[in-house]
Chains A and B, each alone.
Chain A
Amino acid sequence: MNRLLRRTLLILLGATLPVTLLFFAFHTRETEQRLEVNFAQIEAAYAGVSMGYKEFADVVSDWVVGDPEVIDLLHQIQEGHDIARGLLYRHIFPLYDSLRTKHVRQLQFFAPNGRSILRMHAPERSDDDLSHIRPLMMRAMATRKPTSGFENGRLMSGFRFCFPILDGQNLLGGVEVSLSFTAIQRLVEREVGNTATVRFLLERDDLMRSTGDDLRDAKPLFDSLYLASALHPEYVTENFENPLFEEPIVKLPNHAATLENRIGSDRKVTAAMDEGEAFARHVCNSLTDCFFVNGLPIHNDRGRVSGYILAYSRDEQYLERGLAVLSAFGLAILLLVGVTLLGVRLQLTRQRLNTLSEHVGKGIYVLDRNGNISYTNPAASALLGYSQEEFIGRDAHDMFHAYSSGSTVSADECPIRCVTEQGKVFQGDQEVFRSKDGTHINVEVTASPIIEAGETVAVVTVFADIRERLTREQQLRQTDAAVKAAVEGVLITDTQGKIVAVNPAFTRLTGYEESEVIGRKPSLLSSGRHASEFYAAMWQDLLERGTWQGEILNRRKNGSIYPQWLSISAIRDIDGRATSYVGVFNDISDLKEKEDRLFYLAHFDSLTGLPNRRLLRDRLEHAMARAGREDSMLGLLFVDLDRFKQINDSLGHEAGDQLICQAAERIGDGLRHEDTLARQGGDEFVILLEGLTDPQTASVVAMKLIDAIKPSFRLRGFEDQSVVVGASIGIAMYPQDGADASTLLRRADAAMYVAKAAGGNTWQHSNEDSAVFAEERLQLESELRHALDGDELVLYYQPKVSLTKGIVEAVEALIRWQHPTRGLLGPDKFLPLAKESGLIIEIGEWVMQRAVRQIVSWENAGITDPRVYLNIDGSQLMRDEYPSKLLDTLRSAGISPNRLGIEVTETAMMGRADGNIAALKALREQGIALSIDDFGTGHSSLNRLKRLPIDTLKIDRSFIRDMVDDPSDQAIVRATVALAQELGLNTVAEGVETEAQLTMLRKMGCDAIQGYWIAKPMPASKLPAWLADKPNIETRFRAQTPKGLAAPAGKR
């Protein structure tokens, strides 16, 4: 293509150049012709004027020459009569005077010897010899024939007409009539036209010679009379400003000076003037200021060039001619370009056809009029496997036409041939060609006959392998079937957003039939629930990325709104332009419901329906942000139900749940709509008060809540029981007590613990102390976890001694914490925390494992007594697997259950579900002793008590401590002992520290005691040594048994 373009440009350039030159030459020639015409005009004008004046001069001369008086006077002058001269002047003056009006400058009479007889223009001068400067005159007299011509003179150069004056044969002299240049100039200008300016240039040397004076003297005069010409240094012009010329000054046009300067630098003009030849130039000062400049040489009588007539004629039509030529040139170029382009186009077309033919992916073969192949393209060879040479001259049908519409056909029946022979175009895609290697190729064929003069001279057949297309079509059909069968709704739009196709699932999901939506826009499905920005963002994504997917609410035909998961993709053509959009969607209503359900479950407490801690935190953070903007306070109330654990342990989880729900309801009733009540977990609630202006408001709310909780609760299944709980409330304020949710919760929680530590049923604002308390508690909890892993927990053992036998019958395992910095911590320092944090389970597990190991260790040391009692928390007892786990542990350790006992608080034991009592029974039946610890501090049901598989009631130390002095305690202890005796249970008094207590207990019939009076809890390592001192113990007991004390009542 580039080569063709280059060649075309070269051809164009090559053609343009001569055309340009031709037009330029034409224009130049026309100008030259006009110049020639102008020159001829000038020449003719000059000749005409000259001739006219000659004729005029002839008339004048006839008048003068033939005048007898003139003859007579000339005779007299020749005889020396000066007065005759005057008379001649007088006689000729009228004629001369009239001649001056015709621009005749001079009229002069000459003597035959060339001397001046009379100058009419300067009568005072005469008799001077002019023979050498009046050659014309001298010739006229010599030849006795008139002469005329250009001649320079001393003062006047011009055209002279000289006539001899004869008297018969006697030459008397001559008369000369001289015309000034002005006269000739004006007449020539008039002849040529008003636009002409005529000047005369005089040859300097010839002129100077004509002055007739000494050159040295004449030069100043000469310089004042004549001006140098810009055209040629050897030529001058008359300076009419010099009054000697007596000519009116005609101002030279401005263009003349410019032209003369330009022409003066023209070498050709200079050369022509050097040679005394005429010249003609066309000179332009600008496109609209052009002149024909013609210079005609004027020859004197000797044939020398004495001067030039210079004529400037304005070329008025130069621009017009130029424009005309330019227009013609332009047209010619256009025509040339057009022809060239046409030729190029034809060439390109041919090339393109050849290129197409050679490079098109389709096979092309041409059949001649005989039906044989005359041309194939490379694609035909590539498709069919034959070389071009193998094709030429062969019959196409026989060579490779295998099937037509699935059947073999003969050459005569070949549809391609049949149709084209009729002069028609065959088109079909049911043909199968056979390649050289026998492969069958499904082809699409177009065969076009080329008809010239009504006869088919060739057939051009184009064929393409359509196997891929057929495969794709098959795939498309399959895809189409898949789309139709899809359960997802499919929607296809064009680029204008109009629906062009939908599948049956679309109808099923939306309710719209295909016919109802084709041509419409998907906005008909709009639910109106989304803002315009939503759809704008969707389209933005589609345009930028070609895809969008997301959840959208749409409307069915019946008006119901449902959630969809919609995926839209752009279908692009090979250039990447979107040609259509496909939307695939599912009805995710069920999914949404599940999501909602999950969300609910994730954010709400299943028991109470209150926001759970996750949702609370989220609301808290938002509330904090709002409070920050509004410059208001938040109050965070951490509510913990007092004694809930006891209730839960005693009455069971179902009762506990009812209590939680009723408490939540009571708490919620006391809040505003904008407040948030959340269940933190267990028996803990958190209340978020927004928009507070004063921390006291939170206190008031807390107080109200405490009052609301105070009345007893009626629980289903326990209607006969009055369940009373309290509330410990910790209050943290935002922003005073913390700037983030975690800090506020922690501070409120800490304040709650302070309130609980203060006895409960109160509230406590977070302060530094509670914050410290919370920090310490948090720290302690962390340390406790570490203690559990770091083996910092230890078991101490405290003996129980039988009052009747005076022997150590058991030891109670008491947990201690060997804190790395705080030293040995008693269980009161960390067990409440363990219960709160849930570590109690792990601790209980640890205690069980450690105690069992210790028992093994003692047995290995030969210490087979006493029974080891473990304290079991109610929460452990609530776990169904605990009994079996305990037995498994014993079994694994090889320890008899008889070595073990468990102590459970009264409350925990009473809260044990009936179903679990059987488990306890099983433990007891295995030999594990069961004791109710801290008896008297809980809510015991006698009916239940009698059914419990217990062995021992441990009287709480609080009754023992003051029993010596407090009759009430005495009564309680006595009653407890009596009860136990009635139920066949043993009693153990805790916290015996004095002999008086001992004595009293013995008197009451208590079975055993435990306390500092016997021994403080000791490490396991020390117990063997203490047990070895058994005689000492018995001695102490016997010593302490006063006479007269009744033996304790016998045991069951």
Chain B
Amino acid sequence: MRVAISLKIIMLAAFFTSIPARALEPGGTIKFTPLPMLGERALRSQFLPMLDYLTKQTKIQFHWTYIPDYDAVIDAQKRDEIDLTFLGPLPYVTLRQQDSAFEPLVHFRENDGSPNYNCALVAFGNEGPYRATDVINKHIGLTQPKSTCGYFAVSVMLARAGRAIDGQNNRYEYAGGHDKAIMGVVRGVYDVAGAKLAIAHKHARLGIQVIDQVGPYPGFALVANKRTMTADQRIAIRNALLTASRAERARWGDPMRNGAFSANDQDYEALRKDLRRLDGGVPEEK
């Protein structure tokens, strides 16, 4: 008996320890749809090299589907019409809140290699506002709907400062992206704007000041639908991404080329916590 148990343990250990070292090739076809943060052409150039890599490694065929509407993507996920997608932290948390079948496989590192990112509230130079509490009667530039560093992060930061994104005579406007939001502040279109801290720092030489920040939040992740993807498929994809070489990643799009690390749902607790702080949550905006 003892020997049998030992043997079993040994076998199990061997099995589990062997998993990372063994390339899984489960095959099959997976429907992949990214969030429509960019145009389809741009998204294809970003993701297709990575998907080709994954196909080679896992023998999984990826069926590309572009859905230009963010909500439609989420809905399609919930209807099991999409197996795998690329989500920012806020969209993931929102989705996971509605449907627990979704699981993050990997996070992608930021350009600086960090696994997380913060969101920043920026202003221009010495024109003020200098602090989040100064954001009263300001024109706020946001990245885009569903962006973590957009309404959500700015709301959190303003809420922490006792301010409201749409209160105290503040008004917000979606600029269409982090750079655009920041450059809107540079151009004087916005008084403040929300954007990734790293991007804000990049614009520091243009006079952009970070007056507040929030985070860290996990980076973008590949999110799998457990209902439609097998465990082998998820494992295989994760493993392949974790083991991709630098040279391989250099061919991928910008969000993915800095490397990936294993993700799990607990990584999003900080965001959930901040989200709970918002009474109204994040409005459904198009």
Contacts and interface: CB of A to CB of B under 8 A. Distances in A.
A83 B125 contact: yes
B228 to A, nearest CB: 30
Interface in A812-834: none
Main secondary structure of the interface of B (DSSP, over half): helix
Contacts of A226: none
Interface string A216-253: 01001000100000000000000001110000010000
B126 interface: yes
A220 B204 CA distance: 30
A85 B205 contact: yes
B203 A87 contact: no
A93 interface: yes
Given A90-B187, A123-B183, A124-B199, A85 B206 contact: yes
B220 interface: no
A127 B205 contact: yes
A243 B42 contact: yes
Nearest to A126: B205
Q: Is the interface of A mostly helix, strand, loop or mixed?
A: helix
Nearest to A122: B179
B208 interface: yes
B186 A86 contact: yes
Contacts of B250: 217, 220
A83 B179 contact: no
Nearest to A127: B205
Interface in B202-227: 202-208
Contacts of B102: none
Interface residues of B, number: 23
A409 B284 CA distance: 143
Interface in B185-203: 186-188, 199, 202-203
B22 interface: no
B205 A90 contact: no
B206 A242 contact: no
A885 B286 CA distance: 168
B45 interface: yes
A87 B206 CA distance: 8
B212 to A, nearest CB: 19
B187 A82 contact: no
B116 to A, nearest CB: 21
Given A123-B183, A124-B179, A217-B250, A86 B206 contact: yes
Contacts of A124: 179, 199, 202-203, 205-206
A734 interface: no
Given A241-B41, A243-B42, A243-B45, A82 B186 contact: no
Interface in A35-72: none
A915 B41 CA distance: 158
A82 B39 contact: no
Interface string A79-95: 00011111101100100
Interface in B14-54: 38-39, 41-42, 45
Contacts of A125: 202
A82 B207 contact: yes
Given A82-B204, A124-B179, A124-B199, A89 B126 contact: no
B251 interface: yes
B126 A83 contact: yes
Given A83-B125, A243-B42, A89 B206 contact: yes
B208 to A, nearest CB: 7
Nearest to B253: A243
B41 A82 contact: no
B186 A90 contact: yes
Contact of A220 (B42, B179, B208, B251): B251
B124 interface: yes
Contact of B124 (A83, A93, A127, A241): A83
Contact of A86 (B38, B39, B45, B208): B208
A242 B205 CA distance: 28
B176 to A, nearest CB: 14
Contact of A243 (B39, B124, B207): B39
Given A124-B202, A243-B42, A243-B45, A85 B187 contact: no
A85 B186 CA distance: 9
Contacts of A126: 205-206
Q: Which of A84, A86, A242 has its CB near the most chain B CB atoms (within 10 A)?
A: A86
Contact of A123 (B39, B126, B203): B203
Interface residues of A, number: 21
B42 A93 contact: no
Contacts of A83: 124-126, 206-207
Given A82-B207, A87-B207, A123 B186 contact: yes
A124 B183 CA distance: 9
Contacts of B124: 83, 86
A90 B188 contact: yes
B206 A123 contact: yes
A126 B204 CA distance: 11
Contacts of A127: 205
A63 B188 CA distance: 21
Contacts of B42: 243
B45 to A, nearest CB: 6
Contacts of B204: 82
A82 B206 contact: yes
A126 B205 CA distance: 8
Interface string B100-137: 00000000000000000000000011100000000000
Contacts of B187: 89-90, 93
A747 to B, nearest CB: 115
Contacts of A89: 183, 186-187, 206
A481 B41 CA distance: 118
B216 to A, nearest CB: 21
Nearest to B45: A243
Contacts of A123: 183, 186, 203, 206
A84 B250 CA distance: 35
A70 to B, nearest CB: 16
Contacts of A249: 41
Contacts of A241: 41, 45
A113 to B, nearest CB: 16
B159 to A, nearest CB: 28
A124 B185 CA distance: 13
A89 B182 CA distance: 12
A94 to B, nearest CB: 9
A241 B44 CA distance: 10
Nearest to B257: A220
A884 to B, nearest CB: 148
15 contacts: A82-B204, A82-B205, A86-B203, A86-B208, A89-B183, A89-B206, A123-B183, A124-B179, A125-B202, A127-B205, A220-B250, A241-B45, A243-B38, A243-B39, A249-B41
Given A86-B186, A126-B205, A220-B251, 7 more contacts: A86-B207, A90-B186, A123-B203, A124-B206, A220-B250, A224-B45, A241-B41
Interface of A: 82-87, 89-90, 93, 123-127, 217, 220, 224, 241-243, 249
Interface of B: 38-39, 41-42, 45, 124-126, 179, 183, 186-188, 199, 202-208, 250-251
